[in-house]
């Protein structure tokens, strides 16, 4: 297998060849739909890259904003992950668009250990629902 970049003499360690791309750092993006907003939080391993909350009224605006964050933070559409939570069922056009753009889109289901009505699940903040799942 050839080396990336020029040639190298035997024993030289001027460049490392990456053969297993699973060793590369992965980036992860979480989008939580709540109230009339979406919160987007992006990480590279354990490093926070971005955190923002914005209005989620227009599906085109939401899709554009998430896609632009992916582009600005150089996320890889084939290997990095997008996790969705909260009121995803109310954001079907956004989810459909994101699934066309990003290979790994997953829904994070929050199933609290206590009985809640659908209305309570809808209005409780996601961080509180997540804590109730522990």
pLDDT band, residue 18 (cuts 50/70/90): very low
Gap between the terminal Cα atoms of the chain: 48
* Cβ atoms of residues 40 and 56 within 8 Å: no
In the block, residue with structure tokens 């080396």: 3
pTM: 0.70
The CATH fold assigned to 23-133 is Nucleotidyltransferase; domain 5 (3.30.420)
List Cα–Cα distances, 3 to 13, 22, 24, 25, 89, in angstroms. Answer: 12, 18, 17, 21, 47
* Cβ atoms of residues 90 and 33 within 8 Å: yes
Show me where the domains of the chain are located: 23-133
What integer pLDDT is reported at residue 13 of this predicted model?
36
pLDDT band, residue 117 (cuts 50/70/90): confident
Q: pLDDT by residue (tens digit) across 33-82? A: 888 889 998 999 889 999 999 999 999 999 999 999 999 999 999 999 99
Q: Which of 58, 55, 53 is nearest to 40 (CA)?
A: 53
């Amino acid at each position: 297998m050839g080396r990336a970049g020029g040639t190298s003499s035997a024993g030289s360690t001027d460049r490392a060849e990456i053969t297993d791309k699973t060793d590369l750092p992965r980036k992860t993006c979480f989008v939580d739909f709540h109230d009339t907003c979406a919160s987007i939080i992006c990480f590279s391993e354990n490093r926070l890259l971005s955190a923002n909350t914005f209005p989620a009224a227009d599906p085109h605006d939401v899709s554009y904003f998430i896609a632009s964050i992916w582009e600005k933070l150089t996320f890889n559409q084939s290997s990095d992950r997008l996790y969705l939570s909260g009121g995803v069922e109310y954001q079907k056009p956004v989810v459909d668009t994101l699934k066309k753009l990003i290979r790994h889109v997953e829904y994070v289901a929050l199933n609290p250990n206590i009985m809640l009505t659908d209305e309570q699940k809808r209005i409780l903040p996601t961080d509180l629902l997540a804590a109730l799942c522990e």
